[in-house]
Structure 1
Amino acid sequence: MTEATPLIDMRDIALSFGVVKALRGVDFELRPGEVHALLGQNGAGKSTLIKVLSGVYQRDSGDVRIHGEPTQFKSAQESRESGIAMVYQDLSLVPTMTVAANLFLGREPHGPLKLVRNGDLVAKAQKYLDEQGFPVKANATVDSLPFAYRQLTEIAKALMGDIRILVLDEPTSALSAGEEEILFDAVKEVTKRGVGVVYVTHRLHEVFRISDRVTVLRDGLNAGTFQTADITMEALVQSIVGPGHEKLTQSTLSLEEGERRASHAAGSSKSATPVIELRDVHNERLHGVSLAVRPGEILGLAGMVGSGRTEILETMFGLRRAAEGEVRYQGEPVAWRSPARAIAAGVALIPEDRHLQGLVLGDTIAANVALPQLPGLTRSGMFARREAARRARAAVSDLNVRTPGISTKLQNLSGGNQQKVVFGKWLTPEPKLLLLDEPTVGVDVGARDEIYGIIRRFARAGCAVVVISSDLVELEMLCDNLAVVHDGRIVTTVHTSDIEGEEGLHQLVQESAR
């Protein structure tokens, strides 16, 4: 680190939303060529702070200096023009356009008569993606891509152009280990040019791999700024959760250090009738998939992005039909024509992308919690508002959702609290089959442990659970058994006790893709 003028110097930043004080005098500094991690639990103020930096929010008080100059961005466009590139959890891509069109949106290369030639656009975009090592096709439409590849496209877009400050908000939330390496390499390359990187994450092991310094926010206040090399994982977790949470600190450390818990559901029996069973299922994405999940079992699906993991869950949920083979639910053949049939039978899905598939962001917590169970909340043609409100309050309490009340709109909650509400939709009545696609994306260290507790509670009650996660440590720690998926097929199934740590699981997944 040099003692050069900071790229970002934010002092005593305060911002309130009504009676809620989101930031209460926060300081933050970014130096040229450094990666500065910004940590904290959901609602701590991380996203609010970077939105103040970008001009999305206007601060109530405090000073912001960019390259030593006092700055008050009035819009995100002004921030971008000053050399600040932002990658939020909420992606800014146009789903119906190609990757190439999104990368060059607003800065298209023009040919004769100022016309944009699509072939040239795709070729330039593909050349750039290949140079950066991003495994994305430039001519693919964004809505056809898995969520992880959309995330890579957003990051690639941010890296284009003359940027001096790069802000990454949960950039690896849905990336596999291999894709994480692509991102880390790209970050290292831009810092060599003197670009400063603000790195917001809940995955603490990443902090020690990539950051130079770390700042922790707690309840809208600074909880500390540290040289990464000078702080331990335990001290960092304690700074995030605060005093009086020693049990949570040790629980989080177990996950971050990759220790397998001995608290897996014990109710699963090989002799029990499977809750869900796929027998040689074929459709447009699956090729002869066979698996069974019994009451109380947590089955993990491991594999690369695009391997077919999500499509297995969609087939179980009625979003995809089995063209060949058989799907059996509680011992009986089923052919659900819609997810509504699956929901009525006791199947719940936590989708990969909560914003597009899991929530109505413009509606309230109460309305979102009620959505999957509307038939059960309708009495003689009338909506049972009191019962719906009771369920919403129970979900908020059970999952520790940080909110002023159940009338709060989802768009006003942090990412982690939004994810808790997705879970809250399925608490009453409890499902017989719980399907989880990246269940802890954008969830902080405290909320993540709470979600694991909810998953295990379902399993102990006899619910069968199927979980997809790009975090291999999470799969190893949470699941009883793991099925490795590649190209729409189950390559192998193993018990987690037979896997030698995260490296063993990573090797298993890599070998399956060869």
Structure 2
Amino acid sequence: MELSGSIAAEPRPSTSLLMVGGINKRFGGVRALRDVNLEVRAGEVHALLGENGAGKSTLIKILSGVHAADSGTIEIAGKPATFDSPARSREAGIAVVYQDLSLVESLSVADNLLLGREPRTRFGFVRKRELMARAEAFLGELGIPLDTKAAVGSLPFAYRQMTEIAKALMGEVRLLILDEPTSSLTSDEVRILFDAIGKATRRGVGVIYVTHRLNEVFEISQRVTVLRDGANAGTFVTADTDMKRLVNAIIGTDRLAPAASRAAPAAARALDPSPVLSLSDVSNDRLSAVDLTVMKGEIHGLAGLIGSGRTEILETIFGLRPVERGAFEIEGRPWLPKSPADAIDQGVALVPEDRHVQGLVLDHSIERNITLPRIPRFSRWGFMQQRAAIRRAETAVARLSVKAQGASSLVRTLSGGNQQKVVFGKWNDPRPRVLLLDEPTVGVDVGAREEIYGVIRNAARDGSGVLVVSSDLVELIELCDRISVIVDGRVARTLVRGEIVDAEELHHLLQIYQASGQGVLQELPA
């Protein structure tokens, strides 16, 4: 996507606004950040890159006061700063716009922009006209075309997102942090956003711009910092680097093994040629005419940038999103996923990306979590068959090598890798026909990752069709028999093992597909 008036081309002051030095952070046994350094200058757009799990979100949450660093220093305009709460971070002039918006949908755009800062009379009543006038003047200054009177809940997601960004900029902001701000925007809306960022930086605001879309990095940023495995992998002047160098820094040259040296699980087993799951012309609010087939015993990867529709495909199959058009088949029989309970009845299982929120009840035992999707199976006349449930949980713990004192251990006490194994254990018996995996190794250490790979391969060897979403392209190449590239809610191309040389090449393909749009997909090299 080529934007006129590139922000990256404009000169910027060199005054240091933010200095992060030697930041470390652990969560249990996982070291999320290791001696991370970052400098952002006043009036600069500084891109922050890295795969999922690289440490970007943890660093942002430390800067926003959500988490406290274990060690290291933070300086704002040369003065030491500590943020023990989001309020303290905001007082220092730091505003964060996450992908999950924090707007009050029942209020108008103007009310949201000035929430908590409304102009009031001496009797405490809101000066509505003044509020509207201030909101309209500010949006006009930024060039953001929002109706100040419209209820936020009535707006498309892109306009809600722009409302959130405008709200962040309306305060006394020195540093603006944007987390994947264009994931749901059209090209015209991206242009509006970039113009607004340009006006903010000309006022001296520093911007940390988190994205997976490398074409945007070259359009908007002056410098780039890459994190990998919780540590710095390099800082670059945007004008002096190229996409290949950034991809190498993101993935790591030590992981770019040639195709001949990689393990090939697909060649080690004979795949059943019959499909276990088929989608034909499936569409809804996020998907557009998806055609996809998963074979019995196959590990099929979905690769794409954030916002591409990868997760939405899994959610639609699992009955979490309604289907507007299209057909499904399970082992050759027509089926329409109406709800998660319906999907489970058909032998479809989901391991979600956020295991803490969607996959587990942390304050319950391993046994309760593992039996949760199968409660009717362990109930008789309304009473739980406790012994049978415990036996099933103990079998899963042993089979998956969950490191715990026993099935009665609280899930909260386990490491990230063992928690993820418990999520897999929920679907261990009976074997699912289709196993849906969303970022299955995020937040787990290297040893646990290899164990989870073994669980995935065992599921495929036992006959399950596995559909896996992962931002780790090396992981997809290592695991998958086929990889489908997802762009704008549709399957752009499906590649068979051996058609991709390495993760660097696959990353380049994703960036090209995303930047080029749907009109030229067929012209791109396989």
Q: Is the 8 A contact 2:276 2:434 kept in 1?
A: yes
Other-structure match for 1:250: 256
Aligned partner of 1:141 among 153, 156, 169 = 153
Alpha-carbon shift at residue 296 of structure 1 (Å): 4.6
Q: Does 2:385 match 1:381?
A: yes
194-203 or 468-477, which deviates more:
468-477
**Number of equivalent positions:** 481
Alpha-carbon shift at residue 433 of structure 1 (Å): 1.5
Aligned partner of 2:126 among 73, 96, 114 = 114
Other-structure match for 2:225: 214
User: How well do the aligned residues superpose, as a CA RMSD in angstroms?
Assistant: 6.4
Q: Which runs of 5+ in 2 are unaligned?
A: 1-10, 501-505, 522-526
Instruction: Evaluate the alpha carbon distance shift between residue 132 and residue 344 of structure 1 in structure 2; reply closer, same or farther with a 3 A threshold.
Output: same
CA separation in 2, counterparts of 1:325 and 1:21? 44
Aligned partner of 1:70 among 38, 62, 80 = 80
Instruction: Evaluate the alpha carbon distance shift between residue 339 and residue 83 of structure 1 in structure 2; reply closer, same or farther with a 3 A threshold.
Output: same
Alpha-carbon shift at residue 168 of structure 1 (Å): 3.9
Aligned partner of 2:143 among 131, 143, 156 = 131
Deviations 1:297-338 (A, max 9, x none): 566789999999877655533446779986432233446664
CA separation in 1, counterparts of 2:356 and 2:370? 14
Instruction: Evaluate the alpha carbon distance shift between residue 340 and residue 81 of structure 1 in structure 2; reply closer, same or farther with a 3 A threshold.
Output: same
Instruction: Evaluate the alpha carbon distance shift between residue 285 and residue 161 of structure 1 in structure 2; reply closer, same or farther with a 3 A threshold.
Output: closer
Query: Match of 1:346, as an amino acid?
Result: G
Aligned partner of 2:109 among 100, 103, 125 = 100
Bigger Rg, structure 1 or 2: 2
Aligned partner of 2:177 among 161, 167, 179 = 167
CA separation in 1, counterparts of 2:263 and 2:29? 43
Other-structure match for 2:432: 431
CA separation in 1, counterparts of 2:394 and 2:133? 51
Deviations 1:430-488 (A, max 9, x none): 53223456x4897799799978887677556543345678999999996847598989x
TM-score of the superposed pair, with normalisation by structure 2: 0.61
Other-structure match for 1:79: 89
CA separation in 2, counterparts of 1:3 and 1:126? 24
Q: Is the 8 A contact 1:37 1:213 kept in 2?
A: yes
Alpha-carbon shift at residue 79 of structure 1 (Å): 1.7
Q: Does 2:412 match 1:409?
A: yes
Other-structure match for 1:328: 329
Q: Is the 8 A contact 1:22 1:48 kept in 2?
A: yes
CA separation in 1, counterparts of 2:326 and 2:16? 62
Instruction: Evaluate the alpha carbon distance shift between residue 288 and residue 381 of structure 1 in structure 2; reply closer, same or farther with a 3 A threshold.
Output: same
Q: Does 2:249 match 1:236?
A: yes
DSSP-derived class of the 2:173 partner:
coil
CA separation in 2, counterparts of 1:202 and 1:285? 19
Q: Is the 8 A contact 1:202 1:443 kept in 2?
A: no
CA separation in 1, counterparts of 2:435 and 2:213? 24
Q: Is the 8 A contact 1:41 1:446 kept in 2?
A: no
Deviations 1:1-52 (A, max 9, x none): 9885521234455667789887676654332233445567877765554444
Q: Is the 8 A contact 2:283 2:323 kept in 1?
A: yes
Instruction: Evaluate the alpha carbon distance shift between residue 425 and residue 211 of structure 1 in structure 2; reply closer, same or farther with a 3 A threshold.
Output: farther
Alpha-carbon shift at residue 237 of structure 1 (Å): 5.2
Other-structure match for 1:257: none
Instruction: Evaluate the alpha carbon distance shift between residue 188 and residue 480 of structure 1 in structure 2; reply closer, same or farther with a 3 A threshold.
Output: farther
DSSP-derived class of the 1:65 partner:
strand
Instruction: Evaluate the alpha carbon distance shift between residue 506 and residue 265 of structure 1 in structure 2; reply closer, same or farther with a 3 A threshold.
Output: farther
CA separation in 2, counterparts of 1:319 and 1:345? 15
Alpha-carbon shift at residue 388 of structure 1 (Å): 3.1
DSSP-derived class of the 1:409 partner:
helix
CA separation in 2, counterparts of 1:265 and 1:198? 41
Query: Match of 1:87, as an amino acid?
Result: V
Alpha-carbon shift at residue 84 of structure 1 (Å): 0.6
CA separation in 2, counterparts of 1:180 and 1:100? 17
DSSP-derived class of the 1:340 partner:
helix
Query: Match of 1:6, as an amino acid?
Result: S
Q: Is the 8 A contact 2:20 2:73 kept in 1?
A: yes
Q: Is the 8 A contact 1:278 1:327 kept in 2?
A: yes
Instruction: Evaluate the alpha carbon distance shift between residue 381 and residue 53 of structure 1 in structure 2; reply closer, same or farther with a 3 A threshold.
Output: same
Alpha-carbon shift at residue 165 of structure 1 (Å): 0.9
Q: Is the 8 A contact 1:302 1:484 kept in 2?
A: yes
CA separation in 2, counterparts of 1:191 and 1:413? 42
Q: Is the 8 A contact 2:182 2:190 kept in 1?
A: no
CA separation in 1, counterparts of 2:393 and 2:319? 25
DSSP-derived class of the 1:106 partner:
coil
Instruction: Evaluate the alpha carbon distance shift between residue 391 and residue 100 of structure 1 in structure 2; reply closer, same or farther with a 3 A threshold.
Output: farther
CA separation in 2, counterparts of 1:307 and 1:39? 17
Q: Is the 8 A contact 2:299 2:460 kept in 1?
A: yes
Alpha-carbon shift at residue 216 of structure 1 (Å): 4.5
Query: Match of 1:104, as an amino acid?
Result: L
CA separation in 1, counterparts of 2:196 and 2:477? 28
